[in-house]
Every structure is written in structure tokens, then in C-alpha cells.
Amino acid sequence: MLSQGFVSAAAIAASVLFILSLGGLSNQEKAKRAVWYGIVGMAVAVLFTAFGPGIGGYGWMLPMVLIGAVVGWVVAKRVAMTEMPQLVAALHSFVGLAAVFVAWSADLERRRVLAARAAEASTEGFSAFAALVATKAPDELTFLQLEVVFAIFIGAVTFTGSVIAYGKLAGKVEGKPRQLPGGHRLNAGAAALSLLLAVLYLNGAGFWTLLVLAALSFFIGYHLIMGIGGADMPVVVSMLNSYSGWAAAAIGFTLSNDLLIVTGALVGSSGAILSYIMCKAMNRNFVSVILGGFGGVSGPAAEIEGEQVAIDAAGVAATLNNADSVIIVPGYGMAVAQAQNAVSELVRKLRASGKEVRFAIHPVAGRLPGHMNVLLAEARVPYDIVMEMEEINDDFPRTDVAIVIGSNDIVNPAAQEDPASPIAGMPVLEVWKSRVVFVCKRGQGTGYSGIENPLFYKENTRMLYGDARESIDSLLSHID
């Protein structure tokens, strides 16, 4: 059994490693090392917490840790990059549910200690968290109750919200916004009832208040995320990441665990900042998105004239062979087709023939922030030709060819041309200003958010239909 001094020192070391990990993930070249910082930090945190003072029940703990480690390893090995957004959402749900269970357990232990005090019985036999609660003064127990309420509310909202986000990202739940009759009034009513239950609980009501509070919070999480459309799902994932962090911090306060407080605050604040940045990039109101109900059609869509004109790989290659500058815009379709390696080979061949080739990355490309950057790094695309939207958007009018691979909403001119569009006002990559635009797409359907794209009907746009990897592979044989 380790002393409290060792545990505190380990918590500081793990916190530093987590901060280094989070900071390193902002740079592609340092990302791999940053991941190892996080792995080592988590190993230190688990080891020193498990063998800290007053900890027991290893007959239950060690098998659970082993089972969790094996499941995590198997899932990580099997999940493809295309499934990472839904995996992240699923993992957020576990954090939320853990917060609810810990909060319930904490209150049961609090009640056990109070019962012992009322009976004037000894609390010396208590261990682990109960022993900690036994040392608290009445005002500290009141703060514990506040922490329990917060952990249950934010944890339950995170759990069901993350489950719905997983369902939408995985295609198991319809991506369009859906709300029950009453819409936001139902959410407001559930929140008001949650506040009333919290007051009743703090004034001595029974454990039932926490059960009903959890049920209402589960509903709020479900209804909030059901009301958010596919166009806003990347922000939702980031927002739920923030929620899971605050839930972890709440658990930390409840358990008097400094490490959980620090790491939860890191995750919560970084997720909130990222959500704000993404909302700004999409010209969305941050508060409006987190309250749900956005991403749907705000009026009749503008009528689209023209028709989609198809082209074959040979035709695309002929234009590329005569081009001097090319910008590639990757999207979720590239991830689904696992076409990143074929795209990397195309870039290598084009650059070898003296052409300027760059990538344009929209802040919300794919279904997870940084999704495209990770795929391109995996395919060993040079970092210096991967450009963010604000760095490259003004270059499209001077570009010979823009190639859109599996993207829809982030290159949709309706954001600028149609005030009634669900994405009206959202900054987009202005690929249509290039001399020629080639769009690699499976078929003529709409994108994830269900919004029609006028780009596909413009005179300088040609559609290369088919699986993205197969299309790029067939293109490679025609490039000089």
C-alpha cells in the first residue's frame, strides 16, 4: 500500500504528462510522442490510485481493469479510422455513465456515515470513500451533495447525448433534427424539474430524488442531441467531449481526487474552446448549437438549375496533365473509401511532374475535428502542403483544378448564395472559383446533412462517380 505522499506526487506527474499530451496533439509532427505522454500518464494515474491508502477490493478491481484493458485493445485494433468519430462519442458516454454511478454511490456512503453518526456508532471500520466521508464536517457534506447533483446531471446528459451522437454518426439514427412536440419547452421543463429535485434533495429528501434527477437528465441529453442536425454533428462531438470532462471533474470533487479534477478540467475546457472555434468556423451561435434544434432547413431551398455532368478517369487525367496548380479537398467520403493512400500516390505523381499540389482542410471536414489531417498524415502526405481553410481559400481563383473527394457541405456554395439554406453563412471552401472542379462521389445523393449542393450543377464542375479509392486508382494509370 502506497502512502498519500507517493499518490500526490504521482498525480502531479500524471497531470503534467496529460498537459504535455494535450499540447503536443496540436502539432502533427509531435502527435505520436504526445499520445505516448498520455498513455504513460494514464498508466501512472491508474497504478498509484489503485494502490493508494485505504483502497481495497482488489478481487473485484483487478479483473475489471484487465477486462477493460483487453476490450480497449480489441476495439482499438478493430475500429477503422472512418469509425473514430462514433468511437469517441461512445467513449464519452462511458464517462457520463460512470459519473452517475459514482455520484449515486457517494450519496449512499454519505447516508451510511450519517446513519452511523445518528446512532453514535463508530466509523473507524469504514474504508476507502466512506472513511473519507466520515472525516467531513456538516458544511463539507453539503458541498458533497452539490457535487453529487452536478455529477448526476452533467453525467446523465453526456451519456444519452453521446449515445444518440454515436447513433447519428454510425447511421443507426437519422441525421436530420428531430424533436418531440413542445421542442425546447420540454427541455426547459425538464431542466426546471431537475432544479426542483436538486433543491428537495439538498433539503433532506430521499434517494429517489437522485434517481428521478438522473431520468430527467437522461431525457435532456437524448432530446438535445436528437434536435441537432447532421451539419452540426462535428460540433456536437466536441461539445460532448467537453461535457465528459466536466463530468470527470465533478467525480474528482466528489472523490477528493485532485488528478480527476485537473484532467477533467483540461478535457472540459479544451472541448469547450474547440466547440467555440468550430462554431465560429461554421458561423454558428455557440449557445444555439448546444441548446439543440439547429441543422434543419430554415426555409424553402433555392431552386437549382442545370444538370450534373459526368466524366471518366481519362478525362480527369487529361485535364490534370495540362494543369499547373491543383488543390485537393478531402472529406468523409475519402475516409469511408480508405482512399488516402491512393490520393497520396496521386499527389506524389503530380508533384513529380512539376505541378503545385496542396490540400485544403475545412475545420469541420469529416465527422470529427482533425479527421482529415490524421488520414493524410497516416498516408504520409507532407505536412507543408496541408493547408487550413483561411490559408488557402483565396487561392482558388488562381487554381487550375480543384478535386473534391467525398465532401459536400464544406464546398457548398448555398452557404453564400441561399439565405434559406441550413448552412447559410457558414464559411466554405470556394472550390467553384477554380477553372475546373472535379468531384469524386459515389452517386447523385445529398451529403450527410441532407442538403443539396449547387456546386455539382455548375458549368465548370464535372462528376467522377464511383468509389473514391477505385476512382483515384483508375486515375493514376492515366497520369503522365
Active-site residues, by number, are 409
Q: Which residue has the cell 485544403?
A: 360
Task: Give all strands of the β-sheet with 386-388 in edge-to-edge order.
Answer: 386-388, 356-361, 325-330, 401-405, 436-441, 461-465
Measured CA to CA in angstroms, residue 318 lies from 13, 123, 132, 399 at distances of 58, 83, 74, 16
Q: How far is 36 from 21, CA to CA, in rounded Å?
A: 8
Give alpha helix (H) positions in 291-354: 313-321, 332-337, 340-352
- E strand map for 407-446: 436-441
Q: Judge contact between 368 and 445, C-beta under 8 A.
A: no
185: left (phi over 0), alpha (psi -120 to 50) or beta: alpha
Among candidate residues 72, 278, 341, the one with its CA nearest the CA of residue 286: 278
Q: Judge contact between 281 and 231, C-beta under 8 A.
A: no
Write the DSSP symbol of residue 443.
S
Q: How far is 292 from 178, CA to CA, in rounded Å?
A: 10
Grid coordinates representing 21 are: 499530451
Q: Residue 151 is inside which H or E element, if any?
A: helix 138-169
